[in-house]
Structure 1
Amino acid sequence: MFTQPAGAVKCGGAPQKICYLAEDYLGRRDVRDDIEVIFMACFAAALKRKHETSAEIDH
Structure 2
Amino acid sequence: MARRDVECKRRTNVVGVWSSVDAAYQRRAMKENREELAAVEPDIRTQVTNADRVLGK
Query: What TM-score do the two structures reach when normalised by structure 1?
Result: 0.36
- Find the structure with the greater CA-based Rg: 2
Comparing both chains, which one has the higher relative contact order based on Cα–Cα distances under 8 Å and sequence gaps of 6 or more? 1
Structure (1/2) with the larger helix percentage? 2
Query: What TM-score do the two structures reach when normalised by structure 2?
Result: 0.37
